[in-house]
Amino acid sequence: MSTPLVRTLYAGLAVLALAGSPSAEALELEDCRISAGPGYPGIKARCGMLSRPENPADPESPDIELRVAVVPALNLSPDPDPVVPIAGGPGQGSIEFYAAYRSAFESLRRNRDILLVDQRGTGESATMDCPIDDEAILFESEFSLEDTIEFVRECLDELPHDPRYFTTSVAVTDLEAVREALGYAALNLYGVSYGSRVAQHFARRYPDSTRTVIIDGVVPPQIALGPEIATESQRAVDAIFARCAEDAACNERFPDLAATFKRVVATLRDAPVMVEVDHPSTGRPQEFRFSAGEMAGAVRLIAYNPNMSALLPLLVHEAGLGNYDPLASQYLLVAISMSDALAIGMHNSVMCTEDIPFLDRDAIDYDAINASYMGSFQLEALEEMCKIWPVGPIDDDFKTPVATSIPFLLLSGDADPITPPRYADMAAVDLGNATHLIGKHQGHGQIAVGCTSRLAARFVESASTSSIDAECLERSFVMPFFLDFSGPAP
């Protein structure tokens, strides 16, 4: 398999009635430690496993185990409704996500437990991943749509569970079962990226179990992820280059950056280059073929984070001079990170049930996709993949905006390369009690930016959008552009 497949499978963005109510089985928790992964410090928590039917509509369905963790509130007399972070992807485990962004949730944790549930198919909850040869994925260059189908068939053959039952419509029943098992009266949901889809659908399906909702990097229900990934990423990259052009020092150091980028894309599409860089995990020199596909994978993930975006003009400038090593090194970093973080099988089950079947091909701007630096390969590969991936349960109203008076706080970054602010506006169309905050020059995910975590804590504490004074967002830090590899200009 080849590197473009990783980007395809990680893109990221037969109705079956689900019978019965969630089990009220009690869940016993024991002392444990959770972390963001090997080598990261542990966090004290209380952990347990909850058994759930693989197919909730079938009493004879085999059980799967859900990994649950509770990080206790700092207050010894906490409020009875926990905060529930829900990770993105789709395919990332919520426990690992929380551990990586723990500091952003400390204000929320002051008076409330943090309830963590690895969504079925992710983390340690019946993980739906496929055995992958990292060397082949990261460094083999030849790839085609036929390779996609071959990989997908192998993946399906090796999955430990039926992939149909790892969709959002099933997963929200698990979260309600956990709530009942732990005796919490209601939940305060925080969902980022794909997690925003989960949070919205839980609030729709279980309004009496939902106290407040924060959705960050919002995926609106009515959007089918896929067609706009390339064009929105191109828009975000263009905005980074425009911001550099408006910055006197950046523009002087990297003149006509957009033209340089177009030239680099065209050069790599015409003739990939061989590079040799130090492998970020082993430190050993690694030679591999660096093409427009690998470059697109690096640039797309760099654009997610404004701190990383500060490097993009320098990386593009160096590539324009023929030095592809810095950009190739960034590619290796993001590819390894994504490979470790996301469960491909769960990712595919979501995309092939909730997105690709709902594409309106007459409305897709294929010219804009082909003109983007990413091109059309990702969308084509997703469509081919989903031709053979089984479709799972999806609720009848899943693709309609949530209509509720539950308090909602929506967070966006105006430089987000995949979920722009207009997506949040689409999600809010039928929300009767919602506020939308937009971070200037910010990327994908706002909870860790500036004062956002404090605003989120005030919102949850009051369960009211009227309590939010967003003036502090104007002072949120944006990393200055790197003019050389020693760092930003003083």
- Single-letter residue type at 436: H
- H or E stretch covering 153: helix 145-158
Which has more confidence, 279 or 315? 315
Q: What is the pTM of this model?
A: 0.92
| Predicted local confidence at residue 5, as pLDDT | 34
For residues 85 and 94, is the Cβ–Cβ distance under 8 A?
A: yes
Q: Is the four-CA dihedral 326, 328, 332, 333 of positive or negative sign?
A: positive
CA distances from 122 to 51, 68, 340 (A): 15, 12, 11
Q: Is the four-CA dihedral 379, 341, 479, 327 of positive or negative sign?
A: negative
User: CA 51 to CA 63: how far, in whole Å?
Assistant: 6
| Predicted local confidence at residue 230, as pLDDT | 96
User: CA 10 to CA 61: how far, in whole Å?
Assistant: 29
Residue 24 pLDDT > 70: no
3-state per-residue secondary structure call for 322-369: CCCHHHHHHHHHHHHHHHHHECHHHHHHHHHHHCHHHCCHHHCCHHHH
| Predicted local confidence at residue 283, as pLDDT | 83
User: CA 62 to CA 120: how far, in whole Å?
Assistant: 14
| Predicted local confidence at residue 143, as pLDDT | 62
| Predicted local confidence at residue 261, as pLDDT | 98
CA distances from 217 to 76, 160, 279, 412, 418 (A): 32, 31, 31, 5, 8
Nearest to 299 by CA among 262, 271, 339: 262
Q: Which residues pair with 274 in a beta bridge?
A: 289
- pLDDT, tens digit, for every residue of 375-429? 998 899 899 999 999 999 999 999 999 999 999 999 999 999 999 999 999 999 9
For residues 481 and 244, is the Cβ–Cβ distance under 8 A?
A: yes
Neighbouring residues of 372: CB distance < 8 A, sequence distance ≥ 6: 230, 231, 233, 234
Please count the other Cβ atoms lying within 10 Å of the Cβ belonging to residue 361: 8
In whole angstroms, how large is the CA radius of gyration of the chain?
22
User: CA 142 to CA 10: how far, in whole Å?
Assistant: 19
Neighbouring residues of 21: CB distance < 8 A, sequence distance ≥ 6: none
**427 three-state secondary structure:** helix
| Predicted local confidence at residue 139, as pLDDT | 37
Structural domain including 230 reads: 1-490
12-21, 199-208, 317-326, 463-472: least confident range = 12-21
Q: What angle do CA 224, 228, 230 make, to 5 degrees?
A: 140
For residues 352 and 391, is the Cβ–Cβ distance under 8 A?
A: yes
Residue with tokens 């309004």: 207
For residues 407 and 333, is the Cβ–Cβ distance under 8 A?
A: no
For residues 390 and 351, is the Cβ–Cβ distance under 8 A?
A: no
- pLDDT, tens digit, for every residue of 239-254? 999 999 999 999 999 9
CA atoms within 13 A on the CB side of 141: 15
- Residue 2 — pLDDT band, cuts 50, 70, 90? very low
User: CA 352 to CA 202: how far, in whole Å?
Assistant: 20
Nearest to 420 by CA among 401, 442, 400: 442
User: CA 449 to CA 66: how far, in whole Å?
Assistant: 31
Nearest to 196 by CA among 459, 391, 13: 13
Nearest to 141 by CA among 10, 289, 333: 289
- pLDDT, tens digit, for every residue of 369-382? 999 999 998 899 89
- pLDDT, tens digit, for every residue of 160-200? 999 999 999 999 999 999 999 999 999 999 999 999 999 99
CA distances from 449 to 189, 300, 446, 477 (A): 19, 20, 5, 8
Q: DSSP letters along 258-271, please?
A: HHHHHHHHHHHHHS
Number of domains comprising the chain:
1
CATH number, domain of 320, equals 3.40.50.1820
Neighbouring residues of 150: CB distance < 8 A, sequence distance ≥ 6: none
| Predicted local confidence at residue 440, as pLDDT | 93
**375 three-state secondary structure:** coil
Residue 332 pLDDT > 90: no
Pairing of strands 285-290, 482-484: unpaired
Task: Provide the token pair at 187.
Answer: 């939940």
Give buried/exposed letters for 374-395 (b at 16+ CB in 10 A, else e).
bbebbbebbbbbbeebebbbbb
| Predicted local confidence at residue 338, as pLDDT | 73
Task: Provide the token pair at 252.
Answer: 């002087």
- pLDDT, tens digit, for every residue of 119-153? 999 999 999 988 754 334 433 344 677 887 888 89
Neighbouring residues of 100: CB distance < 8 A, sequence distance ≥ 6: 36, 37, 40
Average pLDDT, the chain: 90
Mean pLDDT value across residues 355-360: 97
Residue with tokens 């693709």: 399
Task: Provide the token pair at 264.
Answer: 């680099």
